[in-house]
Amino acid sequence: MKNDSNMYLKNFIIRTPLLEYFGNHSHLTGKIYLKPENLQAFGSFKIRGIASVIDAYPVEYLQHGLAAASAGNMGQVIAFVAQQLKIPCQIFVPETTPDIKKEKIKQFGAQVIEKPFEQIWEIVEGNIPTTDKLFIHPVFCQELLNGYESIAKEIIEDLPDLDAIVIPIGVGGLSIAIARVIYAYNPNIAIYTCEPETAAPLNASLKQGKPVIVSRQPSFVDAIGSPTVLPFVFDQLAPIIRDSLVVNTNHSKKAFIDLLLLNKLLCEGAAACSFAASLGLSRQQKHQKIVCLLTGGNLATHTIQSLIDESMLP
């Protein structure tokens, strides 16, 4: 039996628009179009994927509960769904996850289990904790990726002649879903992922021709940047993306301010990284219509204040 809560959940999903960036164009050679998934309920694109997962299973199958490893955004949506279904929920989060994200998970009654990032990464690699709950993996769950594909389909409908797209890459599920759809639509469209300079394993792996391990430093760009790339993710992306762009942290900070003050969009670090990468591409005179994916907008208040204060320094 299908559950009514998923219809309720789908009511929260909006068809986000493509917004043309209207900041300082003097240094840009083409147009940048923003896909603001930060406007979704719960502040990120994750709701698209979770709704797709829940839709794939009868309610009886879900009675033992839901579980996932998440930096916060996906965990919040899963916790909400579990509350609606009145089933248990466990979310494993890195110890460095911002308090705002952990509290938003807890408010829906989920159990938040904090682990060192290294242990969370082991879960991502496939070492799933023993549980009787449906564990929603961020890469290997095809139903999740099916939901993310809707982002790419909307972009194609709204801007069929795009010639480049920039996708922030975390674990890789979103990047795979969008890249597959865009490449199938037109293999001549330049597909880029982007990573913070504090952890850019895909860029390093592409240079080596295989997944490699890199050092990882904390920064306000906390939802992307991993110690390595899953072999499956590398195999899926390497043949179809143009490059993985490494973004300077200061450029991401400036991009955050531009999005906030010029475009009135509150975006988290991953989205700011994507916008900074898109600006860099435009300055290089490579593309005329670049789509920039803004993946989320969940930031702690003190982080927002710190970024604004820093931007005002001479």
Q: Sheet containing 243-247: which strands, arranged edge to edge? A: 19-20, 31-36, 289-294, 164-168, 190-196, 243-247
Largest CA distance in the chain: 61
CA separation for the pair 145, 83 (Å, rounded): 23
Asked whether 273 and 225 are in contact (CB, 8 A), the reply is no
In DSSP terms, which residues pair with 111 in a beta bridge? 90
Question: 195-237: per-residue pLDDT in tens?
Answer: 999 999 999 999 999 999 998 888 888 788 888 999 999 999 9
CA separation for the pair 50, 33 (Å, rounded): 26
Q: Which parts of 37-98 fold into alpha helices (H)?
A: 46-56, 73-85
Confidence class for position 130, pLDDT limits 50, 70, 90 = confident
pTM of this prediction? 0.92
Domain(s) labelled CATH 3.40.50.1100 in the chain stretch across 4-44+145-311, 46-135
Asked whether 182 and 189 are in contact (CB, 8 A), the reply is yes
Confidence class for position 251, pLDDT limits 50, 70, 90 = very high
Which amino acid appears at position 213 of this protein?
Answer: I
Pairwise pLDDT comparison (238 vs 281), residue with the higher score: 238
Q: Which two tokens stand for residue 210?
A: 């295989």
User: β-strand 31-36 against 19-20: which pairing, if any?
Assistant: antiparallel
CA separation for the pair 33, 22 (Å, rounded): 9
Question: 162-185: per-residue pLDDT in tens?
Answer: 999 999 999 999 999 999 999 999
The domain 46-135 is placed in CATH, from the list 3.30.390.50, 3.40.50.10190, 3.40.50.300, 3.40.50.1100, at 3.40.50.1100
Helix, strand or coil for residue 86?
Answer: coil
CATH numeric code, 4-44+145-311:
3.40.50.1100
